[in-house]
Amino acid sequence: MSRYESWGRYPRAQQRRVLPAFWRGDPPALDPADAPYLPYGLGRSYGDCCLNADGTLIDARPLSRFIAFDAQAGRLTCEAGVSLAEILNLIVPRGWFPPVTPGTKFITVGGAIANDVHGKNHHRAGTFGRYVRRFELLRSDGRRLLCSPDENAELYAATIGGLGLTGLILWAELELKPIPGPQIELEAVRCRSLAEFVDRSLESDASDEYTAGWIDGLSRGGRLGRGVLLRGNHARGDGRWRGVKPSPLRLPFDAPGFALNPLGVEAFNALYYRVQQRKERRALAGYGAFFYPLDVVHNWNRAYGRRGFLQWQCVVPHDDGARAASAILERLGATRRAWFVVGKVFGDLPSPGMLSFPRPGLTLAIDLPNDGPRVFEALDAVDRIVLEVGGALYPAKDARMAPATFRAGFPRWREFARQIDPAFSSSLWRRLTHDEAPA
């Protein structure tokens, strides 16, 4: 069924069955004959962690009811198929915001937990999983387990970042954070190198709630790693920004609208950098433009054509002058395909999740069209750089890393594997563990 693909549209998988979960009060019986099972939400993970070749996908999207919203305390309980977009529509007008949001609002709560997603405020807030107070998990034997830091704590920790492998999340209770209004005051800061990007990020982290940037993946030599750091805060409305009109500043993240055209991208990257004439630009933006610029173009992933694309996201520990990250950019830049690079300095707030990806260091997320072995060779090469410095790759983005790379980056994987539901699996999990019997 073509509807159930991953965001990168690579690889492709043919699922044997799709089983919709309509009602949390009477969840589907998970017949062993149709195993393995894997929950599927809105299909925004890139590689094969949301695919289950020859298995059954449980479509969790119909689990889309709100259960309770405490507008005084900022607590929201909802079914696992509710999307972040639906949550934002509900809570933003009432002065609340998700404590952590990734770069798209078209994800489900279940998917946000399963991938323990992070955002531009990782240095302040950590990952999504930190704000999941509890959830109910359906196991294939029919048990329904309430999981929290105090109850079924191991399953709680395994399910946060657990890639959907521990069972089906039926509903979750989330903490929200208060905001003064729907707007973001933001600044764009030009950076001449990756090292400068890291320095400016770290310095901004002290003053700004959100920091992340766009890095020109095509510049080389002395200009390697140049880019624009965006930093922002929820607008206070205290007059500090009065007079700053919603400016013509184009957020770098809306680049792919036309930048996905290979002829346009090089020009765009050069132009964008130059457009930042002054060293710093300020603007007031709606939260949507700041957090979800790509959501304006539905199905932008299709711009890469039928062969799809790969997103590769690593985190590397801090080193002197961002050497490892520069080496990665240099190697990927040589393919002339790594147009679009997003960078962010992670903080050190721990996640409750066993298999959580974010950790202190610099993270780079890079889109590459799937145009053959050259791209795969380049990615293998940069994997080695990540391994050497003790970094990790993000499974939610992965379609091709080697099992050894995964295990090196996620040393708790065996402990995690013991919590997996015996009837659950995914294409990604089989790919990463096929050579070893788990647990």
Partner 1 sequence: MKRVLIAGATSAIAHAAARRFAGEGATLMLAARDPDRLAANAADLCVLGAARVETFVIDFDETPRQAELLAAAEADFGGLDLILVAWGVLPDQAACEGSVALTLAAWQTNATATIAFLTRAAMLLERQRQGTLAVISSVAGDRGRRDNYVYGAAKAAIDAFLQGLRARLHGAGVRVITIKPGPTDTPMTAHRRKGPLFVSAERAGDLVYRAAIGSREVVYAPAWWRPIMLAIRLIPEGLMKRLNLSA
Site residues (vs partner 1, CB under 8 A): 1, 3, 20, 22-25, 62, 65-69, 90
In angstroms, give the least distance from the CB of 333 to partner 1: 41
Specify burial of residue 377 (Cβ count, 10 A radius: 0-12, 13-18, 19+): exposed
The angle that helices 323-333 and 194-207 make with each other, rounded to 10 degrees, is: 130
In angstroms, give the least distance from the CB of 160 to partner 1: 24
- What region does 161 belong to: left with phi over 0, alpha with psi -120 to 50, or beta? left
Specify burial of residue 406 (Cβ count, 10 A radius: 0-12, 13-18, 19+): buried
Q: In which residue are the tokens 């750089």 written?
A: 385
Among 179, 30, 158, residue whose Cα is nearest residue 92 = 179
Q: CB nearer to partner 1: give 22 or 376.
A: 22
Strands (E), 287-394: 309-316, 340-346, 361-369, 392-393
Q: CB nearer to partner 1: give 3 or 278.
A: 3
In angstroms, give the least distance from the CB of 25 to partner 1: 5
DSSP letter at 199?
Answer: H
Identify whether the C-beta of residue 228 lies closer than 8 Å to the C-beta of residue 197: no
| Residue 160 CB partners (closer than 8 Å, separation 6+) | 113, 116, 127, 129, 132, 351, 352, 353, 354, 356
In angstroms, give the least distance from the CB of 2 to partner 1: 10
Q: CB nearer to partner 1: give 20 or 390.
A: 20
Q: CB nearer to partner 1: give 25 or 222.
A: 25
Q: CB nearer to partner 1: give 9 or 24.
A: 24
Q: CB nearer to partner 1: give 87 or 194.
A: 87
In angstroms, give the least distance from the CB of 83 to partner 1: 10
In angstroms, give the least distance from the CB of 48 to partner 1: 23
Q: CB nearer to partner 1: give 78 or 315.
A: 78
Specify burial of residue 2 (Cβ count, 10 A radius: 0-12, 13-18, 19+): exposed
Residues 94 and 33: their CA atoms lie apart, in Å, by: 46
Q: CB nearer to partner 1: give 39 or 343.
A: 39
As a whole number of angstroms, the longest Cα–Cα distance in the chain is 65
**Which helix (DSSP H) or strand (DSSP E) does residue 190 occupy?**
strand 183-191
Q: How far is CA 389 from the centre of its chain?
A: 22
In angstroms, give the least distance from the CB of 35 to partner 1: 19
Residues 44 and 35: their CA atoms lie apart, in Å, by: 23
DSSP letter at 225?
Answer: T
Secondary structure in 3-state letters for 244-257: CCCCCCCCHHHCHH
Q: How far is CA 341 from the centre of its chain?
A: 14
Read off the tokens for 59: 């479509």
Identify whether the C-beta of residue 150 lies closer than 8 Å to the C-beta of residue 416: no
Q: CB nearer to partner 1: give 39 or 252.
A: 39
Read off the tokens for 248: 């013509």
In angstroms, give the least distance from the CB of 28 to partner 1: 10
In angstroms, give the least distance from the CB of 93 to partner 1: 10
In angstroms, give the least distance from the CB of 254 to partner 1: 27
Q: CB nearer to partner 1: give 1 or 437.
A: 1
